[in-house]
Chains A and B, each alone.
Chain A
Amino acid sequence: MAEFVMPILGSDMTEGKLVEWKKKPGDRVNKGEIIAEVDTEKATIEVEAFQTGVIERLITSPGDTVPVGTVMAIIREDGKPSAQPKVDVQREQPKKAALPAAPLIPPAPPVGESIRLRISPAAKQLAADLGVDPFTVQGTGPDGAITRQDIEAAGKRVVVPSPTEAAGAAIDRQGRLRQTIAAAMARSKREIPHYYLSTTIDMGRAMTWLTDQNLKRPVTDRLLYGVLLIKAVALALREVPELNGLWKEHGATQSPDIHIGVAIALRQGGLVAPAIHQTDKQTLGELMKSFQEVVKRARAGTLRSSEFSDPTITVTSLGEQGVETVFGVIYPPQVALVGFGKLVERPWVVDGQVAARPVITATLAADHRVTDGHRGAIFLSAVDRLLQEPDAL
């Protein structure tokens, strides 16, 4: 018997609203299969099952908002007897304010738990009273401590929808997405000692190769140069695996798999960075399809839980907007972010001759607690080298 709980679909998620069950009691469900649709601050997300078995019981009803970690369904795992769940699975909703102590299944570990917020007891109390997330507040007290005054100011600035309001029909998703991003980015800049490296990469060979390739491919299968960049990053991560991982409680852990999160700007503003799973193992063609799929679903608001929780590094590109360089902010608990600017033609020295070449600026923002500039430089060099041999990507 296993419990299906409301997963954390983002490091700042505290609760989710069940939109729909995709399975009913008695249905078989395989690990990874979509079992439910959950509405969060960010998007409506298709949540996958973490166990294989038969749905024994659905506990949460569609429309209910429950804190992360709440048992929503019971799955009878194959080969195991049916049994009562060890937790109380009353239909009654747990108090929304109380965060569960229950262990959470796969989702990303909560960020920054090892670092205590420098906040006075009175300010903490006031933050709770006003519903202000102290992690989004800049302290102005001694040594940057957050004081009551800071919380008061923040309380006036941000009108936070209460959970009950959020559960209602009119969700200001835009505002909440902004707040979620604010919390993650503020936390990142507060906790992660970033270092930045930048290099300009000659894309001449890659672009020539791409033009040739696309001529051979049916229109629907044509590649964008962006997938070359993503693939090059994925392969370079095999060489510098320290950049591919998460910062947990008391240190860094490398991820055995490479799931690159691709930053996607949403039309209405804000961004998400869902994972393209096993990025390094996909062919360019597969990667192109994965990328298109994830972009489509991100914009439709139907990303899956694992896509939210699995990224091991993020790649962002602001080339479309015409900027040449992007120094990104790491998305915690990740430890690195790779940025690409606009592909531009520049005079470039090739074999002693100046020639017009398409070049792109690649940047690395990395967590100095985990890696040093030396390793970061090796990584960016590897990206460059890999892009000079597009055939091998």
Chain B
Amino acid sequence: MAKMTYRDAVRAGMREALLHDPSVFLMGEDVGRYGGTYACSKGFLEEFGPDRIRDTPLSESTFVGAGIGAALGGMRPIVEVMTVNFSLLALDQIVNNAATIRHMSGGQFSVPLIVRIATGAGRQVAAQHSHSFEGWYAHIPGIKVLTPATVTDARGMLLTALKEPDPVFIFEHAYLYPMEGELDEALSVDISTAAIRRRGKDVSLVTYGGSVWKTLQAATGLAEEGIDAEVIDLRVLRPLDAATILGSVKKTHRALIIDEAWRTGSFAAEVSAQIMEGAFYDLDGPVSRVCSVEVPIPYAKHLEDAALPNVEGIMKAVHDLLGRNR
């Protein structure tokens, strides 16, 4: 076990892949000379050279498309997209090509592509760099959507994803990059299950990505009040591990979903629907959600804070759910 930052864990995963597999290469805006927008590829250009660490023009559609082409040609490209907002420019390549080629070629072609995308708010970079669209990607059949929240997952999920024959999208919450954690290198990291980060019996708090830590903090606060919350880190949005969620809800009989995306049409809504479908008769209260306020994420610190899910808000939602606010 070694202590390291989330950023270094992502870097460690990519470096390992670059060292062990000559077909792996990294491509994206500022990944080379600048060392990556979030410094995840610092030193790579010097270590692996310009053939394998490629700076691209500011054209997401082009370099994601190039990644698809390289994957079709037998390479294992890792494409970095600076923010999820910018990834929308590449949606045509993702939805119409990456996700469909296996299907449309009758299984003849695979697209073993990794796309790493920074997501989320909390860093005062305003409404064009702060949104959480991973839930939209989870709508698309043909791709996998991962949301590592821990240091171990940041490194390990990438390595496991590199063994997949199909496109995998990894959403890294930008707020997590400087966060330190224990890296368990020995742990075999799957990309198919949700993880229970805290066991509890009174309420299931279902979340993922950057909200995991806020939720764990809320659970600690709740424990002081005698409310024993279970925290589920989804880890994988597509395919969703409904069994873990339902198993937890059947035990606690209550569920709160914490999702930094907007509430309307959110991934939280999908989780809620699956709980209704799979555990209705076990529910002791309505499934509730804590999501971001439905505004473009603001620049001003106090407004941004007010727009995002926070520890107090999560605790309050649990109180409401348990009827402790009267």
Contacts and interface: CB of A to CB of B under 8 A. Distances in A.
Nearest to A150: B284
Contacts of A149: 284
Interface string B99-135: 0000000000000000000000000000000000000
A141 B253 CA distance: 13
B280 A121 contact: yes
A142 B285 contact: yes
B275 to A, nearest CB: 11
Contacts of B320: 142
B283 interface: yes
A386 to B, nearest CB: 48
Nearest to B249: A122
Interface in A134-172: 140-143, 145, 147-149
Contacts of A145: 285, 323
B184 interface: no
B133 to A, nearest CB: 32
Interface string A101-134: 0000000000000000000111111000000000
A120 B284 contact: yes
A43 to B, nearest CB: 37
A148 B284 contact: yes
A113 B247 CA distance: 34
B323 A125 contact: no
Contacts of B322: 141-142
B281 A122 contact: yes
A149 B323 CA distance: 12
B321 interface: yes
A147 B254 CA distance: 11
Interface size on A, as a range, is 10 to 19
B241 interface: no
A347 B321 CA distance: 58
Interface string B277-308: 00011111100000000000000000000000
Contacts of A120: 253, 283-285
B253 A148 contact: yes
B288 to A, nearest CB: 10
A122 B323 contact: no
Interface residues of B, number: 11
Contacts of A148: 253, 284
Contacts of B280: 121
Interface string B249-282: 0000100000000000000000000000000111
A210 to B, nearest CB: 54
A122 B321 contact: no
B285 A147 contact: yes
A141 B281 contact: no
Contact of A142 (B282, B283, B323): B323
B323 A121 contact: no
Contacts of B282: 121-122, 125
Contacts of A142: 285, 320-323
A130 to B, nearest CB: 15
A140 B323 contact: yes
Contacts of A140: 323
Nearest to A151: B284
A142 B285 CA distance: 8
Contacts of B285: 120, 141-142, 145, 147
Contacts of B284: 120-123, 141, 147-149
A165 B225 CA distance: 43
A82 B321 CA distance: 60
A149 B285 CA distance: 12
B320 to A, nearest CB: 6
Contacts of A143: 323
B248 to A, nearest CB: 14
Nearest to A125: B281
Interface in B125-173: none
A320 B117 CA distance: 83
Contacts of B321: 142
Nearest to A144: B323
A49 B321 CA distance: 52
B276 to A, nearest CB: 10
A79 B281 CA distance: 52
Interface in B46-81: none
A145 B254 CA distance: 14
Nearest to B282: A122
B286 to A, nearest CB: 8
Interface of A: 120-125, 140-143, 145, 147-149
Interface of B: 253, 280-285, 320-323
Given A120-B253, A140-B323, 6 more contacts: A120-B285, A122-B282, A125-B282, A141-B323, A142-B322, A145-B323
Q: What 8 A-B pairs are tightest by C-beta distance, nearest first?
A: A142-B323, A122-B284, A120-B284, A141-B323, A121-B281, A148-B284, A122-B253, A147-B284
14 contacts: A120-B284, A121-B283, A122-B253, A122-B282, A122-B283, A123-B284, A140-B323, A141-B285, A142-B321, A142-B322, A145-B285, A145-B323, A147-B323, A148-B284
